[in-house]
Protein backbone atom coordinates (compact mmCIF):
# COMPACT_ATOMS: atom_id res chain seq x y z
CA UNK A 1 0.00 0.00 0.00
CA UNK A 2 1.43 3.37 -1.02
CA UNK A 3 1.68 5.88 1.82
CA UNK A 4 1.59 9.57 0.94
CA UNK A 5 3.26 12.06 3.27
CA UNK A 6 1.91 15.60 3.35
CA UNK A 7 3.48 18.42 5.36
CA UNK A 8 2.38 21.99 5.85
CA UNK A 9 4.76 24.78 4.84
CA UNK A 10 5.75 25.54 8.43
CA UNK A 11 7.98 22.45 8.39
CA UNK A 12 10.49 24.46 6.33
CA UNK A 13 11.78 21.57 4.25
CA UNK A 14 13.57 22.56 1.06
CA UNK A 15 12.17 21.86 -2.40
CA UNK A 16 14.95 19.34 -2.92
CA UNK A 17 14.15 17.40 0.26
CA UNK A 18 10.45 17.36 -0.57
CA UNK A 19 11.08 16.04 -4.07
CA UNK A 20 13.62 13.46 -2.92
CA UNK A 21 11.15 11.98 -0.42
CA UNK A 22 7.96 12.44 -2.48
CA UNK A 23 6.41 14.74 0.13
CA UNK A 24 3.58 17.10 -0.74
CA UNK A 25 3.86 20.58 0.74
CA UNK A 26 0.71 22.51 1.68
CA UNK A 27 1.27 26.29 1.91
CA UNK A 28 -0.28 28.16 4.80
CA UNK A 29 -2.03 31.46 4.06
CA UNK A 30 -0.04 34.65 4.71
CA UNK A 31 -1.96 37.92 4.77
CA UNK A 32 -0.36 41.28 4.05
CA UNK A 33 -2.89 44.02 4.57
CA UNK A 34 -5.95 42.99 2.59
CA UNK A 35 -4.14 40.56 0.28
CA UNK A 36 -3.74 36.85 0.86
CA UNK A 37 -0.73 34.82 -0.31
CA UNK A 38 0.51 31.22 -0.09
CA UNK A 39 3.61 30.64 1.98
CA UNK A 40 6.57 29.91 -0.28
CA UNK A 41 4.56 29.96 -3.51
CA UNK A 42 3.73 33.58 -4.22
CA UNK A 43 5.37 35.22 -1.21
CA UNK A 44 8.81 34.95 0.41
CA UNK A 45 10.21 35.98 3.79
CA UNK A 46 11.88 38.92 2.04
CA UNK A 47 8.40 40.17 1.12
CA UNK A 48 7.30 39.80 4.75
CA UNK A 49 10.33 41.73 6.02
CA UNK A 50 9.82 44.46 3.42
CA UNK A 51 6.14 44.86 4.30
CA UNK A 52 6.96 45.15 8.00
CA UNK A 53 9.93 47.52 7.52
CA UNK A 54 7.83 49.88 5.41
CA UNK A 55 5.40 50.31 8.29
CA UNK A 56 2.43 48.87 6.44
CA UNK A 57 1.30 46.77 9.38
CA UNK A 58 1.91 43.33 10.85
CA UNK A 59 1.70 40.36 8.48
CA UNK A 60 -0.81 37.73 9.59
CA UNK A 61 -0.78 33.95 9.27
CA UNK A 62 -3.82 31.73 8.97
CA UNK A 63 -4.72 28.05 9.18
CA UNK A 64 -5.91 25.75 6.40
CA UNK A 65 -9.64 25.18 6.82
CA UNK A 66 -11.53 21.88 7.10
CA UNK A 67 -12.92 21.97 3.55
CA UNK A 68 -9.48 22.54 2.04
CA UNK A 69 -8.07 19.64 4.01
CA UNK A 70 -10.87 17.37 2.84
CA UNK A 71 -10.17 18.27 -0.79
CA UNK A 72 -6.45 17.63 -0.37
CA UNK A 73 -6.97 14.24 1.27
CA UNK A 74 -9.52 13.18 -1.34
CA UNK A 75 -7.20 14.24 -4.16
CA UNK A 76 -4.26 12.19 -2.89
CA UNK A 77 -6.41 9.12 -2.29
CA UNK A 78 -7.84 9.45 -5.79
CA UNK A 79 -4.27 9.47 -7.12
CA UNK A 80 -3.72 6.04 -5.59
CA UNK A 81 -2.48 6.66 -2.07
CA UNK A 82 -3.54 3.85 0.25
CA UNK A 83 -2.98 5.99 3.34
CA UNK A 84 -1.97 9.54 4.20
CA UNK A 85 0.28 10.87 6.95
CA UNK A 86 -0.18 14.62 7.37
CA UNK A 87 2.21 16.63 9.55
CA UNK A 88 1.20 20.01 10.94
CA UNK A 89 2.58 22.80 13.10
CA UNK A 90 2.03 22.48 16.87
CA UNK A 91 -1.62 22.58 17.87
CA UNK A 92 -0.62 25.08 20.58
CA UNK A 93 0.27 27.58 17.83
CA UNK A 94 -2.37 26.97 15.16
CA UNK A 95 -5.75 25.35 14.51
CA UNK A 96 -4.34 23.38 11.56
CA UNK A 97 -4.26 20.10 13.46
CA UNK A 98 -7.79 20.53 14.73
CA UNK A 99 -9.05 21.28 11.20
CA UNK A 100 -7.12 18.39 9.67
CA UNK A 101 -8.48 16.01 12.32
CA UNK A 102 -12.06 17.05 11.57
CA UNK A 103 -11.50 16.54 7.83
CA UNK A 104 -9.85 13.15 8.41
CA UNK A 105 -13.02 11.81 10.03
CA UNK A 106 -14.46 11.35 6.56
CA UNK A 107 -11.71 8.84 5.75
CA UNK A 108 -10.44 5.71 7.48
CA UNK A 109 -6.83 5.93 6.32
CA UNK A 110 -5.75 9.54 6.99
CA UNK A 111 -3.51 10.24 9.99
CA UNK A 112 -3.06 13.92 10.99
CA UNK A 113 0.02 14.21 13.19
CA UNK A 114 0.49 17.13 15.55
CA UNK A 115 4.27 17.60 15.47
CA UNK A 116 4.17 19.77 18.64
CA UNK A 117 6.96 21.70 16.93
CA UNK A 118 7.48 24.26 14.21
CA UNK A 119 9.98 24.71 11.38
CA UNK A 120 12.39 21.81 10.88
CA UNK A 121 11.62 20.47 14.33
CA UNK A 122 8.49 19.27 12.54
CA UNK A 123 10.55 18.73 9.40
CA UNK A 124 12.83 16.35 11.31
CA UNK A 125 9.76 14.27 12.16
CA UNK A 126 8.57 14.34 8.54
CA UNK A 127 11.87 12.93 7.26
CA UNK A 128 11.85 10.35 10.06
CA UNK A 129 8.46 9.21 8.76
CA UNK A 130 9.79 9.09 5.20
CA UNK A 131 12.59 6.80 6.38
CA UNK A 132 10.02 4.51 8.02
CA UNK A 133 7.91 4.44 4.86
CA UNK A 134 11.01 3.29 2.96
CA UNK A 135 11.45 0.52 5.54
CA UNK A 136 7.96 -0.79 4.78
CA UNK A 137 6.12 0.06 8.00
CA UNK A 138 2.37 0.62 7.89
CA UNK A 139 0.86 4.09 8.21
CA UNK A 140 -0.53 3.27 11.65
CA UNK A 141 2.86 1.98 12.84
CA UNK A 142 4.58 5.11 11.55
CA UNK A 143 2.03 7.40 13.18
CA UNK A 144 2.61 5.64 16.51
CA UNK A 145 6.39 5.91 16.23
CA UNK A 146 6.12 9.60 15.32
CA UNK A 147 3.99 10.26 18.40
CA UNK A 148 6.82 8.80 20.48
CA UNK A 149 9.67 10.45 18.59
CA UNK A 150 8.27 13.98 18.66
CA UNK A 151 8.80 14.04 22.42
CA UNK A 152 12.55 13.78 21.82
CA UNK A 153 13.04 16.53 19.24
CA UNK A 154 14.89 19.73 20.13
CA UNK A 155 13.56 22.86 18.43
CA UNK A 156 15.20 26.18 19.26
CA UNK A 157 16.28 29.43 17.63
CA UNK A 158 18.41 32.45 18.48
CA UNK A 159 16.84 35.78 17.50
CA UNK A 160 18.69 38.95 16.61
CA UNK A 161 15.75 41.14 17.65
CA UNK A 162 12.48 40.87 19.53
CA UNK A 163 10.85 43.48 17.33
CA UNK A 164 8.94 40.94 15.24
CA UNK A 165 7.74 39.15 18.37
CA UNK A 166 6.53 42.54 19.68
CA UNK A 167 4.64 43.26 16.47
CA UNK A 168 2.92 39.90 16.72
CA UNK A 169 1.90 40.56 20.33
CA UNK A 170 4.21 37.90 21.76
CA UNK A 171 6.25 40.26 23.92
CA UNK A 172 5.88 43.82 25.21
CA UNK A 173 7.39 46.89 23.66
CA UNK A 174 9.39 47.47 26.85
CA UNK A 175 10.87 43.96 26.70
CA UNK A 176 11.82 44.38 23.04
CA UNK A 177 13.36 47.81 23.67
CA UNK A 178 15.28 46.62 26.72
CA UNK A 179 16.66 43.63 24.82
CA UNK A 180 17.86 45.92 22.05
CA UNK A 181 19.49 48.41 24.40
CA UNK A 182 21.24 45.66 26.38
CA UNK A 183 22.26 43.75 23.23
CA UNK A 184 20.38 40.66 24.43
CA UNK A 185 19.84 37.83 21.97
CA UNK A 186 17.13 35.45 23.24
CA UNK A 187 17.07 31.74 22.55
CA UNK A 188 13.51 30.53 22.05
CA UNK A 189 12.68 26.83 22.42
CA UNK A 190 9.63 24.60 22.07
CA UNK A 191 8.35 23.03 25.28
CA UNK A 192 5.09 21.12 25.32
CA UNK A 193 4.20 22.54 21.94
CA UNK A 194 4.68 26.15 23.04
CA UNK A 195 7.46 28.58 22.16
CA UNK A 196 9.15 30.36 25.06
CA UNK A 197 12.43 31.94 26.11
CA UNK A 198 14.96 29.29 27.12
CA UNK A 199 18.02 31.45 27.62
CA UNK A 200 19.20 35.03 27.15
CA UNK A 201 22.58 35.62 25.55
CA UNK A 202 24.39 38.93 25.36
CA UNK A 203 26.84 40.14 22.76
CA UNK A 204 27.28 40.21 19.02
CA UNK A 205 24.92 37.91 17.16
CA UNK A 206 27.54 35.70 15.53
CA UNK A 207 29.41 35.26 18.80
CA UNK A 208 26.14 34.37 20.51
CA UNK A 209 25.22 31.80 17.87
CA UNK A 210 28.60 30.10 18.19
CA UNK A 211 28.06 29.82 21.96
CA UNK A 212 24.48 28.62 21.45
CA UNK A 213 25.71 25.78 19.21
CA UNK A 214 28.22 24.75 21.86
CA UNK A 215 25.57 24.85 24.57
CA UNK A 216 23.26 22.63 22.54
CA UNK A 217 25.75 20.12 21.16
CA UNK A 218 29.04 20.01 23.04
CA UNK A 219 29.65 16.96 25.26
CA UNK A 220 26.17 15.57 24.63
CA UNK A 221 26.13 11.77 24.55
CA UNK A 222 22.41 11.19 23.95
CA UNK A 223 21.86 12.92 20.63
CA UNK A 224 20.35 11.01 17.70
CA UNK A 225 23.16 11.49 15.20
CA UNK A 226 21.17 10.54 12.11
CA UNK A 227 20.57 14.17 11.08
CA UNK A 228 20.42 17.77 12.18
CA UNK A 229 19.09 20.93 10.60
CA UNK A 230 20.49 24.41 10.49
CA UNK A 231 17.45 26.55 9.69
CA UNK A 232 17.82 30.29 9.35
CA UNK A 233 16.84 33.68 7.95
CA UNK A 234 20.44 34.69 7.15
CA UNK A 235 19.57 35.04 3.47
CA UNK A 236 22.42 37.44 2.72
CA UNK A 237 25.26 35.72 4.59
CA UNK A 238 25.93 32.23 3.15
CA UNK A 239 29.49 32.16 4.50
CA UNK A 240 28.22 32.33 8.08
CA UNK A 241 25.76 29.52 7.41
CA UNK A 242 28.62 27.38 6.12
CA UNK A 243 30.53 28.20 9.30
CA UNK A 244 27.63 27.10 11.50
CA UNK A 245 27.41 23.82 9.59
CA UNK A 246 31.11 23.17 10.18
CA UNK A 247 30.80 24.01 13.88
CA UNK A 248 27.80 21.67 14.15
CA UNK A 249 29.74 18.83 12.51
CA UNK A 250 32.71 19.40 14.82
CA UNK A 251 30.61 19.44 17.98
CA UNK A 252 28.50 16.37 17.16
CA UNK A 253 29.14 13.61 14.63
CA UNK A 254 25.87 13.87 12.72
CA UNK A 255 25.54 11.64 9.67
CA UNK A 256 24.11 14.65 7.83
CA UNK A 257 23.60 18.34 8.56
CA UNK A 258 20.92 19.84 6.35
CA UNK A 259 20.49 23.57 5.83
CA UNK A 260 17.13 25.13 5.08
CA UNK A 261 15.82 28.67 4.92
CA UNK A 262 12.91 29.40 7.23
CA UNK A 263 9.61 30.09 5.50
CA UNK A 264 7.23 33.00 5.97
CA UNK A 265 5.61 31.74 9.16
CA UNK A 266 8.85 31.52 11.16
CA UNK A 267 10.23 34.65 9.50
CA UNK A 268 7.12 36.64 10.35
CA UNK A 269 7.41 35.89 14.07
CA UNK A 270 11.20 35.71 14.50
CA UNK A 271 12.51 38.25 12.00
CA UNK A 272 15.74 38.42 9.96
CA UNK A 273 19.01 36.92 11.17
CA UNK A 274 17.37 34.12 13.14
CA UNK A 275 19.12 30.74 13.31
CA UNK A 276 18.45 27.41 14.97
CA UNK A 277 19.99 23.96 15.22
CA UNK A 278 17.24 21.33 15.28
CA UNK A 279 17.77 17.66 16.05
CA UNK A 280 16.53 14.75 18.16
CA UNK A 281 17.69 13.06 21.32
CA UNK A 282 17.56 9.31 21.88
CA UNK A 283 15.75 9.62 25.22
CA UNK A 284 13.68 12.29 27.00
CA UNK A 285 15.44 15.48 28.10
CA UNK A 286 14.24 18.17 30.48
* Gap between the terminal Cα atoms of the chain: 38
How far is Cα 207 from Cα 240, in angstroms, rounded to an integer? 11
How far is Cα 189 from Cα 218, in angstroms, rounded to an integer? 18
How far is Cα 123 from Cα 93, in angstroms, rounded to an integer? 16
Residue 10 φ/ψ, nearest 5 degrees: -70, -10
Residue 166, pLDDT above cutoff 70:
no
Q: Band the pLDDT of 165: cuts 50, 70, 90.
A: low
Residue 190, pLDDT above cutoff 60:
yes
- Report the length, in residues, of the chain: 286
Average pLDDT, the chain: 90
Report the pLDDT value the prediction gives residue 173, as an integer from 0 to 100. 36
Residue 118, pLDDT above cutoff 60:
yes
Report the pLDDT value the prediction gives residue 73, as an integer from 0 to 100. 98
Residues of the chain with pLDDT > 70: what percent?
93
Q: How many CA atoms lie within 13 A of 8 on its CB side?
A: 35
Q: Strand 110-114 vs strand 83-88: parallel, antiparallel, or unpaired?
A: parallel
- Please give the order of strands across the beta sheet that includes 3-8: 23-26, 3-8, 83-88, 110-114
Report the pLDDT value the prediction gives residue 178, as an integer from 0 to 100. 40
Tell me if 205 sits within 8 A of 252, measured CB to CB: no
How far is Cα 91 from Cα 193, in angstroms, rounded to an integer? 7
Q: Kindly state the helix (H) or strand (E) to which residue 212 belongs, with its residue range.
A: helix 205-217
Domains delineated in the chain = 3-150 (3.40.50.10170), 153-281 (3.30.1180.10)
128: left (phi over 0), alpha (psi -120 to 50) or beta: alpha
How far is Cα 85 from Cα 111, in angstroms, rounded to an integer? 5
Record the pTM.
0.93
Residue 191 φ/ψ, nearest 5 degrees: -140, 120
* Range in 37-41, 69-73, 126-130, 251-255 the model is least confident about: 37-41
pLDDT tens, 251-266? 999 999 999 999 998 8
Amino acid sequence: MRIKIIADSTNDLSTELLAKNDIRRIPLPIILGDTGYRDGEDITPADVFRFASEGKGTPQTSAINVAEYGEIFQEELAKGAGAILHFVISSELSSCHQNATVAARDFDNVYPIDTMHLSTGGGWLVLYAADLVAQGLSAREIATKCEEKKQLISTSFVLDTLEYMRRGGRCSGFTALSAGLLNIKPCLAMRGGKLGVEKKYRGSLKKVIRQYLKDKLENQDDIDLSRAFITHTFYDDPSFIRETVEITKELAGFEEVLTTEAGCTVANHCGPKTLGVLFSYNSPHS
